[in-house]
Structure 1
Amino acid sequence: MNNLGRYLKKHTEALVKDVGIEPACALTGKSKATLGRYYSDHTEHDERFMPIDAVAALEEASSYPHVTSALAELKGITLHFDQDRSNTKRVGGVNADVIALSQRFAMLMAEYQQSIQDGVITANEAKRLLNETLAIQKVLINMKLHLENEQA
C-alpha cells in the first residue's frame, strides 16, 4: 500500500474510534468487521476504503472531520468552519485556548521524549504522537474560531 492509502486509513480509523465502533456500525449500516477492513493495513485490504456516504455520516457525529481534514491536508487546503458545531467546545475564549494549547503541546513533547528514548519510534508510539498532534490541531481550530468571533 502506498503512503496515501496508509494516511487515509489512519484517519479513517481515527474517525471510527472518535464516534465509537457500535455507533459507527449503526450510522453506516456496516458491520464491525467491514468497518475494520476500511482501516486495516493488511495487504488483502489495501484497496478497500470507506465509501464517502459512510464518511459523511460518521463525520456528522464525530468531534472532528478526520477524513475530510486528511483529504484537505493532502491538497494543501485549510479547513474553515463557518458555523458553530453543537459538539465543539467553545467555552473560555482565546485565553483558555492558549492554556489548552500549551498543555497539549507539553503532552506531545512528553510523548515524543518517551517515544524517542530508545532511538526508535514504534508504530504504537507513532499513533500516540499522531493522536497528540490531532488534539493540538483541534485546539488550534477552536482558537481560530474564537479569534474570528472576536473580530466580528
Structure 2
Amino acid sequence: MPTRWKPSVTVAAVIEREGRFLLVEEETPEGLRLNNPAGHLDPGESPLAGCVRETLEETAHPFQPTALVGVYLARFVREATGEDVTYLRFAFCGAVGAPEADRALDQGIVRTLWLTPDEVRASADRHRSPLLLRCMEDYLAGRRYPLDLVFTDPSVLAG
C-alpha cells in the first residue's frame, strides 16, 4: 500500500496596525527569513487556538482573531535536504495587545518587525514562504470570512 500524502497544517496571523504589518524574522535552514507569526497546528487544538498560541509564542503579543483571511496550499522543497513539504495554511486576521515584557520569543525567532505593505513587497526575496505576500494582499483586498467557517469537532479537543 502506498504511503498516504499528508500536508503539514499551519496557522498564521495577518496583523495590521496603522498601515504596518507585524512580521517575524526567523532563523531557517535557508538563512534569516521573514514570515507572518505562524506555525504548526498542535494535536488537540483548533486552528483558531493554534494561531493565538503561535502569535503569542513568536511575537510576545496576545492575539485576538476577528476573521479568517483564507485557506492556502503551498509546496516547498528545501534546497539543502531536498525535503518536499506541502503546507495547508489557515490565515486569520485580528488585533494584538501590547507585548508581554517578560516573555521570550520562540526559539529561532530573532525579532519582530512592523513593515508597510511596500516594505513587505520589496523584501520578497527574504520571505520564508510565498504565502506571506499572498495573505497580506488578500487582507488588503478586504477578504474576511467568519471565524465559524473553520469548525473543530469536540473530539479533537478531547484528546
Both structures adopt the same fold (TM-score exceeding 0.5): no
Q: As a proportion of its length, which structure holds more helix?
A: 1
Structure of greater relative contact order (alpha carbons < 8 Å, 6+ residues apart): 2
Q: As a proportion of its length, which structure holds more strand?
A: 2
If you compute each CA radius of gyration, which structure gives the higher value, 1 or 2?
Answer: 1
- Normalising by structure 2, report the TM-score: 0.25
